[in-house]
Amino acid sequence: MNLRRWTAWAPKRETPEAWRAWAHGGSVNDDSARGESPELTPPPAREIAPLLRRRASLAGRAVLHVLSRPEVPYAGQAIIFCSRFGEFARSLEALRELAQDGRVSPQQFSMAVHHATGGLFMIAQKARAPLTALAALEETALAGLQEAQIQLADAAETVWLVYGDEPLPLAYRSLSASPAEHSDYFAFLLELVPGEDFHLVSGDRADLPDISPAAETPLDLLRFFLCPEKDNIRLSTRGNWILRRRNVVKI
């Protein structure tokens, strides 16, 4: 597979130049507030109608923002939406409503499902393209890449792989072993097309020398794509799945 275009957003990191600088060092939300989500300011996502935009969560606003960026125009391709935590914050609020009032508002319920944000974008685009929503614990980025590779092998001309998350509510922090993972607020989009630049492979580590450490967060995948000098990234500790770059730039 090849990477045709990409875009990403995080607090105070909104330009390609800022992301490339980040890719060579630093965490994604160095300067942004960490903790409960009300401290965070979502991106504008101005291309999405306000009626739809208001329904999105923090993570949803970030995803809608990257999905609607003019530098990566949507052309009706299939979308693979990945999120480690999805709508946990909204689900928690729904559970609190249920415990307090014995009922949940229809809008709260309808937007608590994992593919809700992708649905909003499809409504905004009046599109009927396939939408796949994935969550696979710490290997969600791997699952998204595997799905993209399958769709490209099945004659898709282009696929959008989108990843977005917001900080976990404190009540759920124990579900994540990585503090960096549960405190980042971001979204990124990779437009993938058929090609030979990147290969997703699995096998005995002894057959693949100089393997990088396992990715700690999905943002390590974006970092790999933005660093042409990196040969590979290990995306799985259990299945030993590795994404390899064909032409490494030596610096």
Per the domain annotation, does 93 fall within a domain? yes
Closest Cα to residue 8, out of 71, 84, 97, 83? Answer: 71
Could you tell me if 249 and 215 are in contact, meaning their C-beta atoms sit under 8 angstroms apart?
Answer: no
Per the domain annotation, does 47 fall within a domain? yes
Q: State the pLDDT at residue 32.
A: 42
Residue type, 66: V
Please give the C-alpha separations between residue 119 and each of 18, 61, 224, in angstroms, as whole numbers: 30, 13, 29
- Output the six-digit token pair for 206: 């002894």
Chain centroid to CA 79: 12
Highest mean pLDDT, choosing among 169-173, 220-224, 232-236:
220-224
Q: What percent of the chain has pLDDT over 70?
A: 84
Whether 35 has a pLDDT exceeding 50, the answer reads: no
Per the domain annotation, does 125 fall within a domain? yes
Angstrom distance (rounded) from CA 37 to CA 57:
10
pLDDT in tens, 176-210: 666 655 668 899 999 999 999 999 988 665 455 56
Chain centroid to CA 234: 17
CB-count burial class (<10 Å; 0-12, 13-18, 19+) for 199: middle
Angstrom distance (rounded) from CA 62 to CA 218:
15
Per the domain annotation, does 212 fall within a domain? no
- Output the six-digit token pair for 205: 């580590």
Per the domain annotation, does 229 fall within a domain? no
* Length of the chain (residues): 251
Chain centroid to CA 112: 17
Number of domain units in the chain = 1
Per the domain annotation, does 205 fall within a domain? no
How does DSSP classify residue 215?
A: P
Q: State the pLDDT at residue 34.
A: 41
Left, alpha or beta for 185 (phi > 0: left; psi -120 to 50: alpha)? Answer: beta
Q: State the pLDDT at residue 190.
A: 97
Q: State the pLDDT at residue 205.
A: 53
Q: State the pLDDT at residue 41.
A: 85
Angstrom distance (rounded) from CA 244 to CA 197:
8
Domain coverage including residue 146:
2-196
Q: How confident is residue 114, by pLDDT bands cut at 50, 70 and 90? A: confident
Per the domain annotation, does 204 fall within a domain? no
Angstrom distance (rounded) from CA 43 to CA 187:
10
Residue type, 128: R
Q: State the pLDDT at residue 206.
A: 46
Could you tell me if 93 and 108 are in contact, meaning their C-beta atoms sit under 8 angstroms apart?
Answer: yes
CATH label of the domain that carries residue 187:
3.40.47.10
pLDDT in tens, 123-152: 999 998 999 999 888 888 899 999 999 999
Per the domain annotation, does 238 fall within a domain? no
Q: How confident is residue 160, by pLDDT bands cut at 50, 70 and 90? A: very high
